[in-house]
Structure 1
Amino acid sequence: MPLASLIGRWAMQPFSKALPPLGDTERAALEAGTVGFEGRLFAGRPDFDVLAAMGPNRLDEREQRFLDNEVRELCRMLDDHAIDEAHDLPPEVWRYLREKRFFGMIIPEEFGGLGFGHHAHATVVARIATVNVATAVTVMVPNSLGPAELLLRYGTNVQKAHYLPRLADGRELPCFGLTSPYAGSDAASIPDRGVLVEREIGGRTKRGFLVDFDKRYITLAPVATLVGLAFHAIDESRPEGERELGITCALIPVPQAGMEIGRRHHPMDSAFMNGPIRGRQVFVPMEWIIGGEPQVGQGWRMLMECLAAGRAISLPALGSAMQQTALYVANGYGRIREQFGMPVGRFHAVAGLVAQMSAELYASDAARRFTAAALDKGERPSVASAILKVQLTEAGRRAVNRGMDILGGKGIISGPSNLLGVAYRQAPIAITVEGANILTRALIVFGQGAVRCHPHVLDEMAAVQAGDEKALGKALMAHGRHVALNLWRSLFAAPVLGSPPDDLMHEARLIARMSAKYALTADLAMGLLGGKLKRMELLSARLGDVLAHLYLASACVWRYRVEVAPEMLPFARAAIRLQIDEAGSILRDLYANLPTAGRRVIGALVLRRTAHLAPLRDVQLLELAELLRKEPRIVARLAPDLSEPAAGGLLDLMHAMELGTKLGEGTAALNKVLRRTNSLEEAASSAPDPELALAYLKAADKVIQVDDFEGPPRDAQGRADLRPAAAVAAAAPPGQPAQPPSARPPERTIPPRVPAA
């Protein structure tokens, strides 16, 4: 008997116990999408020629023109504070979005859409989000996981011909209902049910489903004219045990008998539309099922396949936009605001934060752009999309938090001139939706990656499922060779495959070595813990995090090659160093927490020769911060999607930065005179160009000031009247109504003299 068959016979029983049969929903999730470069990292063999072959992001002429014109014009219509206060977009913005087909970016031109690629789609969302997140969410939802994408991939020709043109030009505004009050992260267990029935409509008998459903957190639901719905389809005429047909996706026009669009939710009080949808005995004929009757029961597979790509686009774009805006704000405010006689950005505590933000942005945006390039080449990397969703939304939150720390009091005063307050409040939204990060990190990245990205595990599972001893033996033998190779590479030397840029050869060696150590560690964890690893979420989350940091580090190598920007080399090196150091730190934590005897010995053996993986030194962080202060083009490269809004603090900062760049080093001398004279005019008169100097000082002062509002009314003695507003109004003299506190700040004028800094 061949050796493979002997090994397979010996291993079949224990493997059958360790690998229970997969359910349909688990199988659909695991099999969704494709495997990209993350698979090479999981195998311990990253090939840098494969990275290079992906090529740069490309925009065609139409996409570039849309970004330069329609997107720029839209951003100049957006006032972040006013939209936030109104809890809605202005009517002219809604109208512009429809007229310019922002809701049809992914719909092909043949159906009246824009037919954009993934990179263009993500760039549009990111540029809008740098000035107003609510508008970006409004644009991204119809172009993300929902009716348009489902129709494109699975709809009937009749459904496509009817709905896609109407979705493209905004006649139909869609939403998609998946989440239920009792099924959030466990979306496959939605309790919503549809029973197969026949109904006579217009003298004809129609087959369809009577559906009861209760959905919540549905973005655009309050304004939707077309509801996408996921429900469990049931055929009660079948024998017991065969009645569950599976999750099914349908389109329901609004209004519809039995369906109620509920009152509005306010996610962190954001202005985008969100709310619940409920239905009782809603008849859904077969022609409303996406794809028609053949697609009944195929909804979960459809959703997982779409999510494999969609999760890499919209929410990562929001996270990137938050990072870009926060970096621009932190760096710019650090140049303008002075304390103790010098710009706050020159203090090491602030400079270190700004530098850290820049290195993280370089890495996260590299991964986002690399994955978009892969998507535009036809890949659908499900594990990479989960990595992006977690890493970029978390990076966005960290960047905004750091920016708020640097802004200090300026950051916590609400009003039109606040620079990051709205983004700070809204950051948790992206963390929570489309697979909450705590779930995605703990269960999906490594749970799915261990099966899809590992070169042999899927073959082993298939052999066990089929009861094929020979196939199992062959897979196990290949798996053994794989482990031995990664053990050798971890202990001695991991070769660099391909030709990374010469400037990053040292960093490429670090990535190759850490990838081998990670691949060996993943195999050890799965071998030692077996099926228990799935339930040990703190360990599986760490394994997923290491893969994520390796993916981001590798994307930095790709980005440096395709951008051809030598001035960005310090940022590329810093970004890779941060990611590799984080990966090493997580692996050390993992070995310290393995519930296995000898874990410390194993960890010390595997992680030998990693002591040099220290984080960036202080001097390196300060060098990055100095480059950011002195080189506006570097900030522009790190934040290329930053757009100009209609009004508000960001526009004020942009104006001040533009004037400051024209003045150059003269700002330091100006501020010194200003501290002595306490007068904008006197300080400006000391400059070679007094007119430019005064314009800068006024613009800078506008950035530094914060908004104030009317307080409670005061009596004749000047004391605040703290009675309820209704009582104050009732007591006001006839013809002289009491003035309530203003909901908007008054116009501010620049005083002739300002306090000393």
Structure 2
Amino acid sequence: MAVTEPGDLELIRKSVRDLARRFDLEYWREKDKKHEYPWEFVRAFADGGWLGAMIPEEYGGLGLGLAESAVMMTEIAESGAGMSGGSAIHFYVFPPAPILRYGSEAMKREFLPKLAKGEILMAFGVTEPTAGVDTSRIRTKAEKIEGGWVVNGQKVWITNAQNAHKILLLARTSPRDENKPLDGMTLFFTDLDRSRITVREIDKLGRAAIDSNELFIDNLEVADDEVVGEVGQGFRYLIDGLNPERIVVGMEGIGLGRAALDLASNYANERVVFNRPIGKNQAVAHPLADSWIRLEAAELVCMNAARLFDAEQNCGKEAAAAKFLGAEAGFQACDRAMQTHGGFAYAKEYHVERLWREARLLPNAPFSQEMVLNYISTKALGLPRAY
């Protein structure tokens, strides 16, 4: 049963905070510098049972809700782990959602306990270089054969593919229909078979500890029992992963922003220029205060969306707004922390530049800020669809 009382949320905050802060800023700077996956961090959370936060107890998890998981992810990011620590853990939180809701009983019993224990790592294979945010136009294709399917295509910006054992893979199983463009796509949960999938890491701006990749899929055979739910309904199942993803990413943005704000506040108290701490200057203090307010407001929106999701209510608009505000407030706080540090912001010993690099991703992905505004203008305001 999910923990729902406010006191329980505070207990989760404290427990996760204490665990995450065993790994200090120097740990994350080294992981970022060496492009090393933070396995020690993942194992610590696996040992604590946190990887199975949203997996039901009958499948080896904690059976918590998204509200509890969102609090957990905020504390991880705020510890200084940022998106490097956040991404390493949140792939155990939202990607299994379609399996939980639509996977076969055999699939759930075989794989969910392994995910909860951290025995296997999964990747999420949706994005494609030619489709962008228009998922209906993916070109990865699965053709039916006896007993299964053969998949060919390409994916991009796939996290964890350097180390993942399994992949939740979206492919077209029937041609795109202009009248029903989101039909005809199917979700497969299958092995990330490197004899059939070429994985190429992308050199990128931030979050260097967590790999991002291009995948080239060449005649990958997938069995019928690796289909999640019904053939052709994969996009609808994805929504059960995408809404919590957006909420969790919003909360991670908030955590990132708070980590940067803490570094900036300490620096503003200690740095003396013209015989006074720079924090006495309103040009320094007011932007930081403004960011604190925006981060607090963003968390209220995120937690409201998480509670709607847990209550199995429609939360598409709220999840989109959560991602928008969390990403915006988080990046703005990191940018203001850079401004507060002045020239020293470029020095890695102050850590704010890593948080800034990681936070810069969030306005773009997942689901760009512009697409959020497109969605809200249509769904909340009833304006004509622009996309």
TM-score normalised per structure 1: 0.47
**Aligned position for 2:71:** 123
Q: Report the AA paired with residue 160 of structure 2.
A: L
For residue 181 of structure 1, give the secondary structure of its aligned residue in structure 2: coil
Distance 1:183 1:356, change over 3 A: same
Alpha-carbon displacement from aligned partner over 1:32-68 (angstroms, at most 9, x marks no partner): xxxxxxxxxxxxxxxxxxxxxxxx973575x665543
Q: 2:168 matched to 1:168?
A: no
- Structure 2 CA distance for aligned equivalents of residues 60 and 356 of structure 1: 28
**Aligned position for 1:449:** 380
Q: Report the AA paired with residue 217 of structure 2.
A: G
Q: 2:144 matched to 1:177?
A: no
- The residue correspondences of 1:652-731 to structure 2 (distance < 5 A) are none
Contact 1:309 1:380 in 2 (8 A): no
- Structure 1 CA distance for aligned equivalents of residues 159 and 344 of structure 2: 32
**Aligned position for 2:5:** 58
Distance 1:344 1:190, change over 3 A: same
For residue 120 of structure 1, give the secondary structure of its aligned residue in structure 2: helix
Find 1:302's aligned residue among 237, 252, 261.
237
Q: 2:358 matched to 1:426?
A: yes
Structure having the higher strand fraction is 2
Distance 1:70 1:393, change over 3 A: closer
Find 1:139's aligned residue among 89, 97, 101.
89
For residue 91 of structure 2, give the secondary structure of its aligned residue in structure 1: helix
Distance 1:377 1:194, change over 3 A: closer
Find 1:437's aligned residue among 350, 369, 385.
369
RMSD: 2.5
Q: 2:151 matched to 1:211?
A: yes
- The residue correspondences of 1:205-604 to structure 2 (distance < 5 A) are 206=147, 208-234=148-174, 246-255=184-193, 257-260=195-198, 262-270=199-207, 271-291=209-229, 295-312=230-247, 314-415=248-349, 418-441=350-373, 443-451=374-382, 526=383, 533-535=384-386
For residue 450 of structure 1, give the secondary structure of its aligned residue in structure 2: coil
Find 1:72's aligned residue among 1, 4, 18.
18
Distance 1:351 1:245, change over 3 A: closer
Contact 1:259 1:277 in 2 (8 A): yes
Contact 1:209 1:233 in 2 (8 A): no
- Structure 2 CA distance for aligned equivalents of residues 195 and 390 of structure 1: 37
For residue 149 of structure 2, give the secondary structure of its aligned residue in structure 1: strand
For residue 172 of structure 2, give the secondary structure of its aligned residue in structure 1: strand
- Structure 1 CA distance for aligned equivalents of residues 32 and 273 of structure 2: 32
- Structure 1 CA distance for aligned equivalents of residues 234 and 126 of structure 2: 11
Q: Report the AA paired with residue 534 of structure 1.
A: R
Distance 1:66 1:214, change over 3 A: same
- Structure 2 CA distance for aligned equivalents of residues 102 and 266 of structure 1: 30
TM-score normalised per structure 2: 0.89
- How many residue pairs match? The answer is 376
Is the radius of gyration larger for structure 1 or structure 2?
A: 1
Q: Report the AA paired with residue 156 of structure 2.
A: R
Distance 1:80 1:309, change over 3 A: closer
For residue 195 of structure 1, give the secondary structure of its aligned residue in structure 2: strand
**Aligned position for 2:45:** 97
Distance 1:170 1:162, change over 3 A: same
- Structure 2 CA distance for aligned equivalents of residues 229 and 159 of structure 1: 15
Distance 1:414 1:81, change over 3 A: same
Contact 1:397 1:424 in 2 (8 A): yes
- Structure 2 CA distance for aligned equivalents of residues 171 and 220 of structure 1: 14
Contact 1:177 1:229 in 2 (8 A): yes
Q: Report the AA paired with residue 359 of structure 2.
A: A
Q: Report the AA paired with residue 356 of structure 2.
A: Y
Distance 1:90 1:374, change over 3 A: closer
For residue 239 of structure 2, give the secondary structure of its aligned residue in structure 1: helix
- Structure 1 CA distance for aligned equivalents of residues 245 and 239 of structure 2: 10
**Aligned position for 1:591:** none
Alpha-carbon displacement from aligned partner over 1:713-753 (angstroms, at most 9, x marks no partner): xxxxxxxxxxxxxxxxxxxxxxxxxxxxxxxxxxxxxxxxx
- Structure 1 CA distance for aligned equivalents of residues 195 and 346 of structure 2: 47
Alpha-carbon displacement from aligned partner over 1:652-688 (angstroms, at most 9, x marks no partner): xxxxxxxxxxxxxxxxxxxxxxxxxxxxxxxxxxxxx
Q: Structure 2 stretches of 5 or more lacking a match?
A: none
Q: Report the AA paired with residue 414 of structure 1.
A: K
Q: Report the AA paired with residue 385 of structure 2.
A: K
Q: Report how far residue 365 of structure 1 moved.
A: 1.9
For residue 345 of structure 2, give the secondary structure of its aligned residue in structure 1: helix
- Structure 1 CA distance for aligned equivalents of residues 277 and 57 of structure 2: 51
For residue 5 of structure 2, give the secondary structure of its aligned residue in structure 1: coil
Distance 1:257 1:331, change over 3 A: closer
- Structure 1 CA distance for aligned equivalents of residues 326 and 183 of structure 2: 37
